[in-house]
Structure 1
């Protein structure tokens, strides 16, 4: 049997190994994680539309509809840091399979006509809550499947898949719901969880639990220990804050509908413009992730991370002069391209976290991401009611640029000290 060629091998010693997409996709375990993620995410996007339609049809209440949507943020913020530690206590493949099977059963109950509204809310909460250990296990498992630059390329593929599926799910979701109804759409979502579990069990090999010495610390202890690890290190803390910058450049998506109302014309009604605005940043993210991972060397990505973070927020400032739709779309696409810096931040974060503690660390970061996005959108909506959407988007851009510049200086200083220490110990 021919030995599998490892991405990045057969290069000169000391040369940064840059990997191609083809090399990464050739790895079976990565394909399984990738396909399972895409299938499950597509079902989730369809389910979000189905839930919105179902709840509004039942209650006729915009508040009830918004409340159910808010439940998709709350579990990750409240329970994410605690449950993410399961990915470090048990075998990560087993954690993913268990979460997929339980979520399939919960969504299948949601697909039964006549489920009471309170039960529907409880089921939504539990389904989203289980996404925390699943995502933490998958994030912690990926560096074991891919190493070096292959990890960055694999992360870029997953990121592009997330954005593409998000655009496809929201764009096609309404048409599918109209054709099949919300209950069948929820049943389809349940099937995607089963499909994800089948892909994982057939394509991802068994691995032992990270804690193999028999000692399994309590969940509270692991959560506190993870927080000390992530926030006790200056480099890790800086990388986490880089990740949380998304709260500034995601904010415009939350007020896309009122922004679109300002730009609407007879030829382009507000709903069409809303869709264009919400698709602009994900489209830019797909382009940025591809270019940044494919044509920028691993070492240069770290040097450009600060500048790219600034780019993720700077184009938003132009909305202060109330430009036409075409200029706004270009600015938001550029912002999405700048968001590709997250690939470098993620790769650096992985390198600085011990393998046996990655699940808890990723879970804490993910919970923070959900929190800053939810709070950012909430604050943006509150401010837009009083000031209008254009100045609010511009202020988010200014605040993001200032924060990104400050983090860039801290990161450059910490990297410089790290190089000095490395040279001193060499």
Structure 2
């Protein structure tokens, strides 16, 4: 398959960023299709791996804290190495960074699939696999704006988000049954295979590009690059607010980390716990699919920016109702509604891209992604520890209340920045 060069489809004129792009325009770009397909494959494998690990640990220990701790291992590694490794996406060709990361992750997950691997080594392998996701994600995020222009970037991000959440729905809802059929080790082997397929798709479908051009100290040491990235992201009030919006997900993702013990409060049957766990884990991704589609297709670019604060509050507020211990159908509805609120991340992401220089995008996105994963991991770990004492339902409600309070503060800060960014969206011509 020949790679398609980035740019506008033939015969199309430049559009104002205020114009809404269509999914058809985005899908017509071959390089985007390659990124899209590779990401979906590896994500599907990751869902199988997460379910396998969570069910294995809870079955062995019966401990919500131990289950959440292993689940948190899929979020915490970026705290240590993510900001440093993300700088590789601004030093080397981004396509090459992604391919190398995929191959290394395939090898590591392949080792995890070997029966008899000691549990501490298994945790170390999980840590290393997630650590490699930092440069991969940073490279992909920095490459996407080069492939998609203007509102096509928002449409492409929305399509990726919808598909990713759909894959998570499928992975969480059907993955538990699949793991019960093929076993945890075979599930991990499938995960390794998806990384290999992703690397092959990138080789075939994404064209070679040179390394990003040097800008000041972009080619300096990784430590210097990290310091520069921190100053860029947190030295600008607008970027700082957008980053905090992104990290708000540490509150509303917490329920996924304790979904298995939450399911245990709703069923005494082991098979029922497995099936309910999959439904609970799929609830928020389902809501995000719905919210991302509606937010990207029915709301103008400027409208998305104006509504970010309200959507952020919606991502946390429904979780508070879990305090009354509602039945499963109500819990699923509340979690789906919270997932719909999380669609505000599309607008935050698009605004962030407009404000960050192209040569700094890898480091900037890497810092944000690392902090985002760290926030999720810390939230899940704290939630598991609290659920050990209070039970899952009160912990989910407390996370919703705390997240709502932070979202209200961010919405107030955002009113000071959004007018300037909305004006830029309306006047800038891509």
Instruction: Please give the range of the TM-score, normalised by the shorter of the 2 chains.
Output: 0.7 to 0.9
Please list the CA deviations of residues 152-177 of structure 1 after superposition, one character each: whole Å capped at 9, or x if unmatched. Answer: 11111111222222222233334433
Distance 1:330 1:44, change over 3 A: closer
Residue 351 (structure 2) aligns with = 348
For the 8 Å contact 2:69–2:381, the answer to whether it is kept is no
Work out the CA distance in 1 between the residues paired with 2:57 and 2:383. 25
Given candidates 293, 300, 308, the residue that maps to 1:297 is 300
Work out the CA distance in 1 between the residues paired with 2:372 and 2:5. 40
Secondary structure class of the residue paired with 1:413: coil
Whether 1:256 aligns to 2:259 is yes
Work out the CA distance in 1 between the residues paired with 2:118 and 2:265. 39
Please give the residue correspondences for 1:92-103 in structure 2 after superposition, counting only pairs within 5 Å: 92-103=94-105
Please list the CA deviations of residues 163-202 of structure 1 after superposition, one character each: whole Å capped at 9, or x if unmatched. Answer: 2222222333344334444444333322222211111111
Secondary structure class of the residue paired with 2:21: coil
For the 8 Å contact 2:173–2:281, the answer to whether it is kept is no
Work out the CA distance in 2 between the residues paired with 1:16 and 1:7. 19
Given candidates 216, 219, 224, the residue that maps to 2:222 is 219
For the 8 Å contact 2:177–2:275, the answer to whether it is kept is no
Residue 20 (structure 1) aligns with = 22
For the 8 Å contact 1:7–1:19, the answer to whether it is kept is no
Given candidates 236, 240, 256, the residue that maps to 2:239 is 236
Please give the residue correspondences for 1:11-410 in structure 2 after superposition, counting only pairs within 5 Å: 16-51=18-53, 60=60, 68-212=70-214, 216-264=219-267, 269-410=272-413
For the 8 Å contact 2:170–2:282, the answer to whether it is kept is no
**What TM-score do the two structures reach when normalised by structure 1?**
0.88
Deviation at 1:70, TM superposition (A): 4.0
Distance 1:194 1:305, change over 3 A: same
Deviation at 1:117, TM superposition (A): 4.5
Work out the CA distance in 2 between the residues paired with 1:233 and 1:194. 39
Q: Which structure would you say has the larger RCO, counting Cα contacts within 8 Å and 6 or more residues apart?
A: 2
Work out the CA distance in 1 between the residues paired with 2:259 and 2:51. 17
Work out the CA distance in 2 between the residues paired with 1:381 and 1:55. 13
Distance 1:116 1:386, change over 3 A: closer
For the 8 Å contact 2:283–2:339, the answer to whether it is kept is yes
Which of 213-222 and 74-83 deviates more?
213-222
For the 8 Å contact 1:53–1:182, the answer to whether it is kept is no
Work out the CA distance in 2 between the residues paired with 1:66 and 1:223. 30
Deviation at 1:321, TM superposition (A): 3.7
Work out the CA distance in 1 between the residues paired with 2:180 and 2:268. 27
Bigger radius of gyration: 1
Distance 1:159 1:275, change over 3 A: same
Deviation at 1:97, TM superposition (A): 1.0
Structure 2 spans left out of the alignment, 5+ residues: none
Task: Give the count of matched residue pairs.
Answer: 419
Deviation at 1:299, TM superposition (A): 1.2
Deviation at 1:259, TM superposition (A): 3.6
Which of 78-87 and 272-281 deviates more?
272-281
Work out the CA distance in 1 between the residues paired with 2:173 and 2:241. 36
Residue 415 (structure 2) aligns with = 412
Deviation at 1:12, TM superposition (A): 9.2
Distance 1:257 1:187, change over 3 A: closer
Q: Could you say what the CA RMSD is over the residues aligned between the two structures, in angstroms?
A: 3.2
For the 8 Å contact 1:93–1:204, the answer to whether it is kept is yes
Deviation at 1:258, TM superposition (A): 4.0
Secondary structure class of the residue paired with 2:149: coil
Work out the CA distance in 2 between the residues paired with 1:52 and 1:322. 23
Secondary structure class of the residue paired with 1:281: helix
For the 8 Å contact 1:247–1:369, the answer to whether it is kept is yes
